[in-house]
Structures are given as C-alpha cells and as structure tokens.
Amino acid sequence: MKQTVAGGCHCGAVRFSCQIDLTAPTTRCNCSICHKQRFWLAVVAVDDFTLVQGDDALVEYRFGAERIRHRFCRRCGVKPFGEADNPAFGGRFFAVNVACLEVEPEVLAKLPIQYNDGRHDAYGHAPSVTSYL
C-alpha cells in the first residue's frame, strides 16, 4: 500500500514528497555510478513524485547513453533522486534515493532489496556478489 513519505538532501535545500509502497522491492545496482555512490533506489511513478523545493539547487549529471538525469544538490552534493524514461519501468519515472527518505531505521531495515547487474546491462539479474552493495 502506498503512503506519502517526505525526503530531501542533507542540507535541506532540496525537498520532495512521494507516494511509495514500502513493501515493494527497492534496488541496489552494481553499475559504475550506483556502485561508487552506494545508491539505493526505489522506483516512483511520475504522478507519485512532487519536488517541494530546491529545483534551483539541483545540478544534473549524465553519462554513457545519457538516459538518466542524475540530480544532485549543488550545496551538499547529495543525490536525492534521478529521473529516467525506460519502458521496462513503465515509461518515465523517478529513482528516489532510499537513504533520503524520512523513515525510521526499523522501516529501512525491512525494505526488500532486489539486486541488478547493471555493470553488465543485465537488469533484472543479480550479480554474483552483492554483499558490497
């Protein structure tokens, strides 16, 4: 069941709200950027995401095929979310940084995790080693 959860960057310049099902799988990926950032994401539909404040505080980074808009706070450097358009995820979506959600640690500990082998473009398949993700 979806619930409204607030989130934001470290310094508070970027704030968002999203409707999210905290029983649905979250994702950890071993692609180059997720690996280096230890990015833990939850896919949120466009209609379920609201940027409350801080659009002017966000900077964007794209690499590779440039399909994903990696959004970072220019003040604190935290990536609260990214944006992409992928038919496998139902079209355009937000990849919310689970660590930026304002939920209790006990809730985070219970979130189901799906691992993706993004390093080899094998999304939907877990890499052989996941413990470092």
User: What is the reported pLDDT for 66?
Assistant: 85
Average pLDDT estimate for 74-87: 95
Single-letter residue type at 102: E
Residues 94 and 51: their CA atoms lie apart, in Å, by 11
Q: What is the mean pLDDT of the chain?
A: 94
Is the pLDDT assigned to residue 121 strictly greater than 90? Answer: no
The H or E element spanning position 83 is strand 81-86
User: What is the reported pLDDT for 85?
Assistant: 92
Is the pLDDT assigned to residue 89 strictly greater than 80? Answer: no
Q: What is the CATH number of domain 2-118?
A: 2.170.150.70
Average pLDDT estimate for 78-99: 92
Interacting residues of 19 by C-beta distance below 8 A, sequence separation 6+: 2, 3, 4, 5, 44, 45, 48, 49
Is the pLDDT assigned to residue 12 strictly greater than 80? Answer: yes
pTM beyond 0.85, yes or no: yes
User: What is the reported pLDDT for 123?
Assistant: 81
Greater model confidence, 117 or 88:
117
Is the pLDDT assigned to residue 94 strictly greater than 90? Answer: yes
User: What is the reported pLDDT for 76?
Assistant: 98
